[in-house]
Structures are given as C-alpha cells and as structure tokens.
Amino acid sequence: MTEFDLRGFRILPGYLSAECQADLVAALRDVAAQAPLFSPVTASGKAMSVRMTSAGSYGWVSDRSRYRYAAAHPDGQSWPAIPSAVLGIWRDLVSDLRDPDCCLMNYYGEGARMGLHQDRDEADFSWPVLSISLGDEGLLRIGNPVRGGSTVSHWLRSGDVVVMGGAARMTYHGVDRIRFGSSALLKMGGRINLTCRVVD
Ligand code: SIN
Ligand code: MN
C-alpha cells in the first residue's frame, strides 16, 4: 500500500518486509537483554500498562511522577546502542544529517494501552519522531496540536512506519488498544512500538 497522510502524520503501511521485521525483533531482543523492560509510573502514581526500555545515548524514564530522558537505565547501566537496522530506517525517512539520540521501545501486552499525549520532552521539535510498529495490530488515535477536539483512528500493523513531524510534531496521539494475537511475529504475542527521537 502506498503512503498517506493522516492529520499530518506520514503513514507508510508495510514499509518493512517480513524479513526486516524478524531481523529487527532479533536486535530488539538483545536490547531488552541488556536493558530490561520496566513499567514507568504515571503522574497519578500508577504503573503504566505499557512496558518500556530504550536504546541510544538517552532513554525515557519516569521518576517521582515526572518523566525525563536519562543517560542510564533505572538499574544503572548505560542504554545499549540503537540497532543499525533502526538507524537505517531513520536515515531513509528522516535524515542522514544526524541520528536519533533515543529509540524508545514500548511493549504492549494483552490489554495495554497508551493515553493521548504529546511528545514534548525533546529540545528541538523541528526533528520528527519516527515510529515503527511490530507484532500485533494497535489502534492509533490522532487528535490535535492542542488538547481536545475530534480524533481519528487508524490500525497500525506490523511493519508500518509513521513519521510525526512538521506541524503534526506536537499532535496528541495515543493507542487505544491492541488486537492481541493478530500477528505471529512475536512469540509471546503483543505489540512493540519503537519511537526514535532527537533529544538534545
Ligand atoms: C508513543 O506515542 O510513544 C507510542 C505510539 C505507538 O505505540 O504507536
Ligand atoms: Mn508519543
């Protein structure tokens, strides 16, 4: 399927071949072995249903109800390097002038979801956020650059890539639910979403 625009999000369905998806999963298994998935705590003090880890010079952590980028995993070790296959996608679709500082890896198990939010902890919003979906289908909801208003929804499938940039860089977005078991890519089921960000 050819790419299309949804409220400024550039959606590239099936961008990654089955082989690329399998290679990525293998690389991400190494990332998670070095930097185990953990459950961040939301501002209200509850554990998020999505588990996370990161690769790159920065990773995303929550501490005392505040989110921030940190140079180390909560267990103390530095984050592993961003897999080269991920950097290749970034260079193809975003820029070869600079690589992302952070590749956030979200894992959605059965029942996991992510509320509407903006990605706004980065210093320079002129850099897009690149999102890569693997495994079970996830229902992406896209709102507006300010809170409230109408939303549109779109099912993201394994191998789909989204570039969130330009005016849509600050658009509210979230994942309402996943179709657990809809893909055979991940042995344990569930959905992985990678988001690559320039942080500094
Ligand atoms: C995110 O906004 O961090 C994740 C989006 C997604 O899971 O597709
Ligand atoms: Mn986001």
* Tens of pLDDT, residues 144-165: 999 999 999 999 999 999 999 9
Looking at residue 43, its pLDDT comes to: 74
Cβ of 171 closer than 6 Å to ligand 1, yes or no, is: no
**Amino acid identity, residue 118?**
Q
Looking at residue 1, its pLDDT comes to: 73
Say how far apart CA 191 and CA 181 lie, in whole Å: 9
Question: Alpha carbon 16 to chain centroid distance?
Answer: 15
35 bridge partner residues:
none
Q: How many residues does this entry show for the chain?
A: 200
- Concatenate the DSSP letters of all residues of 154-191 into one string: EEE-TT-EEEE-GGGGG--EEEEEEETTS-SSSTT--E
Ion ligand 2: residues, CB within 5 A, are 119
Interval 113-132 mean pLDDT: 96
Tens of pLDDT along 177-188? Answer: 999 999 999 999
**Amino acid identity, residue 156?**
L
pLDDT-derived band of residue 45, with 50, 70 and 90 as boundaries? confident
Crossing angle of helices 18-34 and 84-93, rounded to 10° = 120
Cβ of 190 closer than 6 Å to ligand 1, yes or no, is: no
Q: Which-ligand-closest: CA of 121?
A: 2
Cβ of 21 closer than 6 Å to ligand 1, yes or no, is: no
Looking at residue 64, its pLDDT comes to: 67
Q: Which-ligand-closest: CA of 175?
A: 1
Looking at residue 65, its pLDDT comes to: 62
pLDDT, averaged across the chain: 96
Cβ of 54 closer than 6 Å to ligand 1, yes or no, is: no
- Ligand 1 atom closest to residue 191's alpha carbon, by position in its atom list: 7
Ligand 2 centre to CA of 118 (Å) is: 6
Looking at residue 44, its pLDDT comes to: 77
Range with the lowest mean pLDDT among 28-32, 38-42, 127-131?
38-42
Looking at residue 132, its pLDDT comes to: 99
pLDDT-derived band of residue 198, with 50, 70 and 90 as boundaries? very high
Residue 63, pLDDT > 80, answer: no
